[in-house]
Structure 1
Amino acid sequence: MRLSLTLMACAALAACSPSVPDSAAGVGFNDYDAYLAERARRDAALTGSVLPPPDAVSSEPLSADGQTMPSSDAETLAAETRAALTASQANSGVPPVQADPNNPPPQTVTTSTGISSENDFEAVGAQRSIESDAQLIAQNRAQYKVVEPTALPQRSGSTGPNIVAYALSSTHPVGTQVYRRVGFNKEARARRNCAKYTSYEKAQMDFLEKGGPTRDRLGLDPDGDGYACGWDPSPFRNAVPSAGGA
């Protein structure tokens, strides 16, 4: 009795245990060899043309909505379809490029004028040689001259008063009377005389050269500040901070 119970328990356990898969079956497939065959068939189909051959177009009359299309229209449509399929398979008349070391080199596209003679080695080689280039280099070296530096030339004649030095030597602002001026209509006379100069600097130089700032022989400084025609020494003073100035 005990032996029979043991056998029944073993049979029950065997029924509940999972079956061992076949070693020849692939994951998710009943037969791995069948899977490989199906995959090879699918790859062959994918590498082929996606369009049907021209002879696959049927010559039977076409029908639409249950009515047969006239034979002339059907033949025209079939002819156009065959022509389109033929053109697509022929790559629109342009043969595909096959990579092969034996292929001829591509044709060089050149313009009608071509390259210049200076960039053409054959043209330059026909016109010049190594010897002629060496001779040309020697001629250029013979003409080469080294210019030695010389001393700066001295200025000739009088350079006139130095208005920069005068501006730095004075400290009072424009409009401050320092020198005595006498006469009538000094302002009107100064306007007439200052109009003859093209710049304030030129008027100040003539003013200093003719006795200024103490004397105003040209009538250019009516207020007696020592600055002719409104000339302002401030820019020169500001350029040199040590010069000070008001």
Structure 2
Amino acid sequence: MAAVAAGAADEAGETVAPYRPGYELVAEQLLQYIAAEGLRPGDRLPTEQGLAEILGVTRNVTREAVKVLSALGRVSVRRGAGIFVAESNGVLADAELANFQPTDMEQVLMLIDYRQFTEAETARRAATSATPVQVRAIRDSAKTSLDAGIADDIDTFGAADAAFHTAIAAAAGNVFLQASVANTRKFAAQSDVLLFHGDAAGSLSDAGAQHVEIAEAIAAGDSELAATLMVAHIDTTRAQFEHRIRTRLFSRLTD
């Protein structure tokens, strides 16, 4: 397949995503293989060489793909034993989720829809139940994310973003909602890695500004505004993912 040059434009005049490393494409194919074979957590996978032959790629690329999926918690490599579909201790470890495809538009949009539902509720509840200490944590992480966004510091922004959403979930006062938010963010992180490979999905400063607006609504005790702003915030995420996935699909068609 031919590489798509970074900055190339598609037929609609939109920028095509930079070329994706081969190991990311193979990681995606490997997840699809696991799903197609109906493999469950704990099931053993073929060797690196066996996977390379099945997927029609080199062993070196397969090894890098396995490393990526191991870091994401989707496979586990046991020295002397082999490669296995990773076990999950998460609340969302149902069979239906064991084969989540981080680059499949339908599944990613379902995840975002669920995230929007749960995080709107955590924001609503946080506005009525957050303690002063929790409000301060929400505000501080929101401000840090905005400052990092303006500075285009993606690492600091990522940490502040996680702290912001985690703080709101904790302030909601429901451990099941808190666990749900934590686990859906883990799934979303898999899509971040395989779709954005370290790049920002959208404007960090805009996302930081949205965080600050949500934090102020929670601090003011305005539950409906907090929920509405959170819905809008995750709608922005939805649009970014849709654009990136469509760009990826377009680049495949033009290869």
User: TM over 0.5, yes or no?
Assistant: no
Bigger helix share: 2
> What TM-score do you get using the length of structure 1 for normalisation?
0.22
Q: Which has the larger radius of gyration?
A: 1
